[in-house]
Amino acid sequence: MNPVRSSHIKKPFIARRSIPFIKKASNGANITGKTKILGIFGRPISHTLSPAMHNAVMKALGLDMVYLPFEVKPSNLRGAVKGIKSLGMIGVNITTPHKEAVIKFLDSISEDVKLIGAVNTIVNKNGQLIGHNTDGYGYIASLKEELGFNPKGKKMVILGAGGAARGIIIALAAKKPKSITVANRTLSRAISLIKTFKGKFSGIAFQAIGLDGENLRAYFEDTNLLINTTSVGMKKNEALKIPLDALPKRTIVSDIIYNPLETALLKKAAKLGLATHPGLGMLIHQGALSFKLWTGIDAPIDIMRKAALKALKMGGGR
Ligand SMILES: NC(=O)c1ccc[n+]([C@@H]2O[C@H](COP(=O)([O-])OP(=O)(O)OC[C@H]3O[C@@H](n4cnc5c(N)ncnc54)[C@H](OP(=O)(O)O)[C@@H]3O)[C@@H](O)[C@H]2O)c1
């Protein structure tokens, strides 16, 4: 019998154009029988930067783990969460639109999540699913890393009263700022948010106001930190109409939107000579804190940042 030579084996035909994702798909070369699985549930999910950040860290640290994106419809969320246990996953991140809805499927939630009402990280601890939120702490860590800012005794204005604002307020309040003013388009939402926090944190002056342009001027005059947590700015050249010129020169203007990397709001602030803080750092640090919850390991921030920037350049983050 003639030996079978590799040149005799017919290669399968793969029509690359008909399977667009095949070009850059992972080939699974590093997957073993012991590989542990992490991931992110959301919808849409193809834009997420988290797999790039986490897989880069796992590779750098030589961990036998993989982090995968899962597109989960709201009607499939319960099943997907059950799957974390069934498949023995270490945990997952949760993103839009599931951060609030996922809570009812978990075994327990952290004290912070009870106040925030949103989860971005699930840890599978011996078959018990615990919900955490690392967004706000990631935000504070990024402010400290990039600008050395300590919120203690400072005055801050937060634009927006959604899930991200709630996470950031919890983390800021723990650092004992002097005051937190929440300005939101829907005033009733800002009022209800402030009500939740007022009783929990003494010594901080909380107030809720409307997000109407010139009326903000009086609140801006002695602000140390202005944070945009609204979704306005995700489109190029789109910015809230607010009187940035009323801010003192020492004010930091922060925008948690990370795509575009420098929003129109930050460009305007920089032109006025104000210090700026873009949203990518928050994304990186919330990821690092999730990673610590799952593995107990401090993720190398520089590796996460490099991977996130590379993924953004390749069209992620939308
Ligand atoms: N960097 C990060 O790691 C990170 C993490 C989480 C979120 N984010 C970003 O943060 C943003 C908000 O996220 P979220 O989860 O808090 O969303 P959310 O819960 O839907 O809240 C959205 C907020 O934006 C306000 N808003 C929306 N459109 C507006 C408009 N045209 N004018 C004025 N205000 C408007 C809403 O005001 P109303 O109450 O009046 O509707 C609300 O306060 C998103 O852009 C998200 O990508 C970034």
- Do the bridges between strand 121-125 and strand 205-210 make them parallel or antiparallel, or are there none, so unpaired? unpaired
Please tell me if the CB atom of residue 281 comes closer than 6 angstroms to any atom of ligand 1.
Answer: no
Buried b vs exposed e over 277-312: b needs ≥16 C-beta within 10 Å? bbbbbbbbbbbbbbbebbbeeebebebbbbbbbebb
Among 10, 59, 85, 99, which one carries the catalytic annotation?
Answer: 99
pLDDT value at position 9? 53
Ligand 1 mean position, distance from CA 291 (Å): 24
Please tell me if the CB atom of residue 134 comes closer than 6 angstroms to any atom of ligand 1.
Answer: no
Q: How far apart are CA 238 and CA 232, in angstroms?
A: 7
Choice from 53, 230, 257, 258 to test ligand 1 binding pocket (greatest atom count within 8 A of CB): 230
* Nearest protein CA to atom 39 of ligand 1, as residue: 186
Q: How many residues does the chain have?
A: 318
Q: Is 268 a catalytic residue?
A: no
In which element (H, E) is residue 286 found? helix 280-295
Query: Quick one: tokens of 99?
Result: 């951060």
Which backbone phi and psi does 282 adopt, to 5 degrees?
-65, -45
Q: How far apart are CA 139 and CA 262, in angstroms?
A: 16
Q: How far apart are CA 2 and CA 14, in angstroms?
A: 28
Helices 301-313 & 50-61 angle (0-180, nearest 10): 140
Please tell me if the CB atom of residue 258 comes closer than 6 angstroms to any atom of ligand 1.
Answer: yes
Ligand 1 mean position, distance from CA 161 (Å): 8
Q: How far apart are CA 125 and CA 65, in angstroms?
A: 16
Ligand 1 mean position, distance from CA 56 (Å): 28
Query: Quick one: tokens of 239?
Result: 């910015």
Q: Which CATH superfamily is domain 136-278 in?
A: NAD(P)-binding Rossmann-like Domain (3.40.50.720)
**What's the Cα-to-Cα distance from 187 to each of 149, 180, 237, rounded to whole Å?**
29, 15, 25
Q: Of 108, 153, 138, 152, nearest to 254 (Cα)? A: 138
Helices 163-173 & 187-198 angle (0-180, nearest 10): 30
- 67 bridge partner residues: 38
Side chain identity at residue 77, one-letter code: L
Residue-wise pLDDT tens digits, 108-165: 999 999 999 999 999 999 999 999 999 999 999 999 999 999 999 999 999 999 999 9
Q: Of 128, 127, 126, 96, nearest to 110 (Cα)? A: 128
pLDDT value at position 5? 53
Q: Which residues of the chain have pLDDT under 70?
A: 1-29, 318
Ramachandran bin of 6, using left for φ above 0, alpha for ψ from -120 to 50, beta for the remaining angles: alpha
Please tell me if the CB atom of residue 231 comes closer than 6 angstroms to any atom of ligand 1.
Answer: yes
pLDDT value at position 236? 86
Nearest ligand 1 atom, CA 279: 1
Ligand 1 mean position, distance from CA 164 (Å): 7
Residue-wise pLDDT tens digits, 20-33: 443 444 556 678 99
Domain ranges of the chain: 32-133+282-313, 136-278
Q: How far apart are CA 44 and CA 46, in angstroms?
A: 6
CATH architecture of 32-133+282-313: 3-Layer(aba) Sandwich (3.40)
